[in-house]
Amino acid sequence: MAAGLVALGTYVPSKVLTNKDLETFLDTSDEWITTRTGIKERRIAAENEYTSTLAIQAVEDLIRRHGQAALDGVDMIISATNTPDALFPATACLIQAHFGLNAAAYDLLAGCPGWLYGLSQAYGMVEAGIARKVLVVGAEALSKIMDWEDRSTAVLFGDAAGAAIVGKVPEGYGFRAFALGADGTSAKELHYGCVAPNLPDGTPLSRKGIFMNGREVFKFAVRVMNTATLEAIHKAGLRPEEISLFIPHQANYRIIDAARERLGLPWDRVVVNLDRYGNTSTASIPLALKDALSQGKIQDGDHLLLVSFGAGLTWAATVMTWYGGEA
């Protein structure tokens, strides 16, 4: 047996914030946002919704899709998030308590690639026999930390959650390769402060909202989307043309297009839903994966390529072979 995804669920808040809505309080326009990012609208958590709230709802969706028995045997919970309810206790512990699982639990902080980092850890735990099944959640309430006066970041992000279970699948299926990396020398390009006043290089940490050097992050993203995807494909023993479906981090349409071109993939083999959800960070790939499944774009034996980049600066990519009974 190998390790792969065996269940999946997602959740998005009901409140929709469109580009037209943003025009009412920001110096921006629907045309400006759409042209530069591809985003048309995003979901915003209600006042009483936080990361744990969204995460729990994503797990509830997983249960609706796969049955309560899907949680049987889950003995590890990894919550990948950049917006935990608190520094401690871990959001994963709040999830564990809600569902009464007999499981270890911890949070993982790795920027937008956090969910893929979590999948890699879950894969290692299942393969090594440390855990039988691992619940990996990517959840964000980014609206809670936004500077809603900063048009360079306020137009980009949305709130959402995705939850998956990693467990045993038949040989020949499941995860084939991971490519993970980080470049902390570029940490100043994308940050949000909490405890320390500055980064080690002296850069003041932003506390009013997310700080992003859009130009530098864009250049970084285009580069690592190329190198990380090719590394993962090579490790998996495949060629780019053998990738059935490309599921990238939903941050910017132009970044996705550049990666698609370099891989030589047509648009019908790429999943894009950022126009409806914006950048939901750790939740973006499970959200896109769920959309692809719902639209019948994934079949048994398909080779899927997932890639993300984000604050750190970090990146992650994985190739998996889909098992028809997984999700």
Active site residues: 112, 249, 279
Cα–Cα distance list, 185 to 51, 227, 307, 312 (Å): 29, 18, 21, 8
**Consecutive H or E run containing 199:** none
Cα–Cα dist 230/240, whole Å: 8
Where b means 16+ CB within 10 Å and e means fewer, 208-238 reads ebbbbeeeebbebbbebbbebbebbbeebeb
State the alpha helices, DSSP H only, in 9-50. 19-23, 30-37
Token pair, residue 140, equals 């964000």
Q: Can the peptide bond before residue 313 be classed as cis, meaning omega within 30 degrees of 0?
A: yes
Cα–Cα dist 98/142, whole Å: 22
3-state secondary structure 71-115: HCCEEEEEEECCCCCCCCCCHHHHHHHHHCCCCEEEEECCCCCHH
